[in-house]
Homo-oligomer: A and B are copies of this chain.
Amino acid sequence: MNFSSKLLEQAVEEFGKLPGVGKKTALRLVLHLLKQSDADVSRFTQSLDRLKSDIKYCKTCFNIADLEVCEICSSPKRDHSLICVVEDTRDVMAIENTNQFNGVYHVLGGLISPMEGVGPADLKIEGLIERLRNTEVKEVILALSATMEGDTTIFYLYRKLREFQVQISTIARGISFGGELEYVDEITLGRSIATRVPYERNVG
């Protein structure tokens, strides 16, 4: 692209580094911001600067938080003996939206992925083990994605955690609600037949 301005080119280049944003989209976004008022643009950049400088991670569960300990970890209404292990804060939000979980979380900050150079030491696994040592935990739910990285991380965590007196479970895998059998992929369908559950449990 032939930019008529170096400043424009730099801003487009920075936007183009965002995931899923190509050069053309970046230019569209930058020109949109350029049309906004000075106040709007500085609100945009300040929200990012402040997020980056002031953001904290809960020192118990490592979720993004405004305080030292997040709202969930400091709530007496939650069941602190039930820890749900997730990849990142988006998963916490997704599970909170279901209103089906009353325990606490542990945010790993990623999944083990040799391809991307992410090893166990890059994740908050030590912090999880600390929690199992120091507090009374009955069950750890491994709520990780049904991908190769998720499965690898589940396997690693299972081997690390089994020395503790704690129930280790994974979230159920199978056919989505509303899913029609003929459109389900073979692996999911095959596994959901192999891991079938008694009818009483499904309606329970």
Complex interface bits, A124-154 against B, C-beta within 8 A gives 1, otherwise 0: 0000000000000000000000000000000
Chain A residues 79 to 103 lying within 8 A of chain B, measured CB to CB, are: 88-90, 92-93, 96-97
A28 touches B19 (CB 8 A): yes
Main secondary structure, interface of A, reads helix
Q: Is A193 positioned at the interface, with any CB of B under 8 Å from its CB?
A: no
| Residues on the B chain within 8 Å of A45, using CB | 45-46, 48-49
Nearest chain B CB to A46 CB, angstrom units: 8
Complex interface bits, A1-32 against B, C-beta within 8 A gives 1, otherwise 0: 11111111011011101111100010111111
Q: Is A184 positioned at the interface, with any CB of B under 8 Å from its CB?
A: no
Q: How many copies are assembled?
A: 2
A4, A49, A54, A96, most chain B CB atoms within 10 A: A4
A184 and B157 alpha carbons, distance in the complex (Å): 57
Q: Is A42 positioned at the interface, with any CB of B under 8 Å from its CB?
A: yes
Chain A residues 40 to 80 lying within 8 A of chain B, measured CB to CB, are: 41-56, 58, 63-66, 70-72
A66 and B11 alpha carbons, distance in the complex (Å): 13
Give chain A's interface residue range (CB within 8 Å of chain B): 35 or more
A14 touches B44 (CB 8 A): yes
A2 and B50 contact, Cβ closer than 8 Å, known pairs A20-B25, A44-B14 = no
Chain B residue with the shortest CB-CB distance to A46: B45
From B20, B25, B33, B54, A52 is in contact (CB under 8 Å) with B33
* 6 smallest beta-carbon distances between A and B, as pairs: A45-B45, A11-B51, A11-B47, A14-B47, A14-B44, A7-B51
Q: What are 15 A-B interface contacts by the 8 Å CB criterion?
A: A1-B97, A2-B93, A2-B97, A3-B93, A4-B65, A4-B92, A5-B64, A7-B55, A11-B48, A14-B43, A18-B32, A19-B32, A31-B88, A31-B89, A45-B48
**Which of A's residues lie within 8 Å of B, judged by CB?**
1-8, 10-11, 13-15, 17-21, 25, 27-34, 38, 41-56, 58, 63-66, 70-72, 88-90, 92-93, 96-97
